[in-house]
Amino acid sequence: MGVEKTVARPGNGTDFPKKNDEICVEYTGWLYDDEAPDNKGTQFDTSLGRGDLTTPIGAGRVIRGWDEGILGSDEIPPMSLGEIATLTITSDYAYGSRGFPGHIPANAKLIFDVELKAINVVTQQLNCRIMREPPLPPPNRIIVSRVVGTRLRYADVRRNPDSVRLVQ
């Protein structure tokens, strides 16, 4: 199957992302569950409350199911600006046999609600809030001390006051 797309709200029908365009999306992801309403089982990720995701699409930065669900394929039309869709993605188009330890089990089928809010900063008054700054650090910690892979590391002032430095 790969990817199945169900449109919840059509977009403007004129602006479509192309490979390597920078898109801005709001999303929520669930594990697929045959028993749950709308097959939405355990929620494993969301941009709600954290800020929209801005990423190049079709550049291998997201799972294959997102690339095809957003850009379209022979079987699926592309999303247009402002569209809200539900993407049901088989494991081979998601995280496959390795899963995502601690969040997504091996061979998991996933469901995402995705709203395409901007394409190369074409917002059409959709108020896309592009997150360029890291989220605020946890309480009692200040300043991002370094980025390791995709995880932010914070200086802990209680344990290591010398690790705090002013970033201009």
Task: Just list the catalytic residues.
Answer: 27, 44-45, 63, 95, 112
Nearest to 41 by CA among 30, 54, 52: 30
Q: Are 112 and 86 in contact (CB under 8 A)?
A: yes
| Residue 28 tokens, joined | 């929520």
Token pair 């996933």 is found at: 110
- Give rounded-to-5 percent helix, strand, coil for the chain: 10, 40, 50
Cα dist. 36→19, 32, 167 in Å?
A: 34, 8, 47
Alpha-carbon distance 112 to 125, whole Å?
A: 24
Q: Are 87 and 76 in contact (CB under 8 A)?
A: no
